[in-house]
Chains A and B, each alone.
Chain A
């Protein structure tokens, strides 16, 4: 047995013993997802699972131990993920801190910031939101106008953000602000601050799914201490772009059904469709065109699964093209939208229910609608294609 085989065996045994059975059930609705934070209300099983994983550093397995991580190698991390998938263990913690801010702090934060913020991200104690977009700065993100005035030992921030996911539930925000009007990208800084600071207010925006995870976020002379500036003044665009790469990487995971309901795999789709449309004498799904669509989806999904594995392997070994997250984000999100069109087609009238108990409050229909944002949030599909065309294919500027 190699060391990795031993690691796999031990990991499997530990997960078997420590992952509560309730945490091995598919996620039924958005309420099932653990985001952590000061305001979170966890079930006892969610709490137990999060605490046990956090104690080993396995909420962020490949971060250094000093910052609350597991200190695992890329190979070990891959094995942990494979074993979790094998046992159908839920992710113990979903968090912008883990998938976006953490990597940016690891690269650009100073030592004091790393020691202060990373362990609490790993333990899910603080829930973060992302203050990037503004009413007139969406795809053209660097056009943002929220102003941060330098007052010596602190900044004073004023302006408005929009589409801030979960701003009303978050404890802290990582926020792009303008500190100079001389240059567009070169006048942006990256600040962290508490959403309970005086002068911060939020207003929810209702989505087509009937949920309102988004907010307009207003800053009225918010005081932010200087030690909460990441990297340097006017160098925030570097941090912002690096973080966006990780955001895109995270969103691309949706191509495999991550973040959504656990019912969108080809086998589950086919089962659902059989229930709704019936079965032929030979056992095949009685709707041949839907069957064909599911089968072709299965091809793409399995191929994308291989692509995701390849991308992570290349990333961890420092071989990925810097623009590759755009490719993954584009493909994964378009695939996830296709998946949820099939979820709806397979379920028929059952999938359309909006409020019934059997449908978990219309979970499928709402999830289907939610996926339509996948190709908008974190940079639209069009923007990703622009990036691939420019930075990977080196096509001439328009």
Chain B
């Protein structure tokens, strides 16, 4: 398969670009931020996303979805990134759907239809500390009746305070630091013993700390096999990291486009600042970094869709590479805008904030590089 978008994928990109650009440009985020919106995204907009078919992209056809792949999901995510659109797409249409693809019929029929319709939003409760360390999961799931009771704390759970479905990674056995003994659960909103404390992050998004105080679940809320959840979790994480990479690509690309436009527009010393070679070279270097990152993301998406054994590594490469490239894009963006880049009124700073949050999510560049090194035996 050639490493560029097919004609159908390009058409999907064009319609996603138009739709997201029209309905949720950066002004949409600014509006939610200024209103201190307690939800963090627009449920009406999410409904529209579903009407466009976007929420069902990764849901298998047999389950009533579109049966498309990570390339297609990434096409939508890139536009979300480019417009900094607050959206539950990543956690719901990619993260939760990937997990549920490993679930039994009960959970699938319960959730897939509602997700596809835009009636359910999902959150991913994985991290427990300030840095992403999935092997360190400590939240316990002990047997209780015919099910389990969850106790512990999850952090950095985007949409955790409003989600209808929460995918929880818990430990049914073993010590933090080991991969065995992890189990994934599909938890419903409003479960007794669950409390959520949303915190606003630098990019105006809301991430919740979830407290689990003996939250009871039935056995049919288990995704996959009890104690064997690492396989599903790593599939979920590879998909989610790749998705976050696609969104980062959009954020970095959006910042870069703004910056090159500004370089052509802004005049100092009687000429456009973009005619200064010092800035041209940095802009050209940035372009190269972004293109390399783009290739890494598409590679990961294609390998995920092919079920290739190399997908996990490729997802780590994509996450690290987009983390590095987009960080450069937003930093150069603010710097090359000069003073105006530091003002809240101007949009470029919004890109910097979103990039920081996404670069941190599901493992930053250093963590991903370290994971690659471990996989490589050094």
Contacts and interface: CB of A to CB of B under 8 A. Distances in A.
Contact of B3 (A270, A306, A388): A306
Contacts of A397: 275
Contact of B292 (A296, A300, A384, A388): A300
Contacts of B324: 299-300
Nearest to B300: A306
10 contacts: A267-B377, A285-B378, A292-B370, A299-B321, A302-B317, A303-B292, A314-B3, A385-B285, A393-B283, A398-B275
Nearest to B368: A299
Contact of B321 (A292, A295, A300, A313): A300
Closest 9 CB pairs of A and B: A270-B378, A389-B280, A303-B296, A388-B284, A306-B299, A307-B295, A295-B369, A310-B3, A313-B2
Given A296-B369, A299-B365, 8 more contacts: A283-B377, A298-B373, A299-B317, A310-B295, A313-B4, A314-B3, A390-B280, A395-B283
Contact of B376 (A266, A292, A317, A330): A266
Q: Is the interface on chain A under 10, 10 to 19, 20 to 34, or 35 or more residues?
A: 35 or more
Contact of B298 (A267, A302, A306): A306
Query: Which has the most chain A C-beta neighbours within 10 Å: B264, B285, B292, B299?
Result: B292
B372 interface: yes
Contacts of B317: 299, 302-303, 306
Nearest to B285: A385
Contact of B4 (A274, A314, A396): A314
A292 B369 contact: yes
A299 to B, nearest CB: 4
Q: Does more than half of chain A's interface fall in helix, strand or loop, or is it mixed?
A: helix
A273 B2 CA distance: 36
A389 B370 CA distance: 34
B81 interface: no
A302 B274 contact: no
A234 to B, nearest CB: 31
Contacts of A327: 284, 287-288, 291
B276 interface: yes
A299 B241 CA distance: 14
Query: Which has the most chain B C-beta neighbours within 10 Å: A274, A317, A330?
Result: A330
Contact of A382 (B272, B274, B281, B377): B281
B283 A302 contact: no
B373 A270 contact: yes
Interface string A303-332: 110110111011001010000000100110
A111 B319 CA distance: 50
B258 interface: no
Interface string B259-286: 0100110000001101111001101110
Query: Which has the most chain A C-beta neighbours within 10 Å: B271, B298, B299?
Result: B299
Given A299-B317, A319-B4, A398-B275, A393 B284 contact: yes
Contacts of B296: 302-303, 306-307
B314 interface: yes
A304 B277 CA distance: 25
A310 B298 contact: yes
A386 interface: yes
B366 interface: yes
A124 B127 CA distance: 59
B293 interface: yes
A89 to B, nearest CB: 21
Contact of B277 (A273, A310, A386): A386
Given A295-B372, A299-B324, A398-B280, A331 B292 contact: yes
A313 B3 contact: yes
Interface string B1-38: 01110000000000000000000000000000000000
A395 B271 contact: no
A294 interface: yes
A308 B292 CA distance: 9
B314 A302 contact: yes
A331 B314 CA distance: 20
Contacts of B165: none
Given A331-B288, A385-B284, A386-B280, A396 B369 contact: no
B363 to A, nearest CB: 12
Contacts of A226: none
Q: Does more than half of chain B's interface fall in helix, strand or loop, or is it mixed?
A: helix
Nearest to A390: B280
A151 interface: no
Interface string B304-329: 00000000011011101100100000
B172 to A, nearest CB: 26
A338 to B, nearest CB: 13
B264 A291 contact: no
Nearest to B286: A393
Contacts of A267: 376-378
A274 B296 CA distance: 28
A392 interface: yes
A17 to B, nearest CB: 27
Contacts of B281: 382, 385-386, 389
A284 interface: yes
A68 to B, nearest CB: 26
Query: Which has the most chain B C-beta neighbours within 10 Å: A299, A310, A396?
Result: A299
Contacts of A317: 2, 4
Contacts of A313: 2-4
A300 B314 CA distance: 12
A299 B320 contact: yes
Contact of A309 (B277, B294, B295, B313): B295
B260 A395 contact: yes
Contacts of B271: 396
Nearest to A319: B4
A299 B369 CA distance: 6
A299 B298 CA distance: 15
Contacts of A384: 284
A114 B238 CA distance: 50
Given A299-B369, A310-B3, A395-B283, A274 B298 contact: no
Contact of A330 (B288, B295, B368, B377): B288
B293 A388 contact: no
Query: Which has the most chain B C-beta neighbours within 10 Å: A267, A298, A306?
Result: A306
Given A270-B378, A298-B372, A393-B284, A307 B292 contact: yes
Contacts of B298: 306, 310
Interface in B179-195: none
A299 B367 CA distance: 11
A384 B280 CA distance: 11
B265 to A, nearest CB: 10
Contacts of B369: 292, 295-296, 298-299
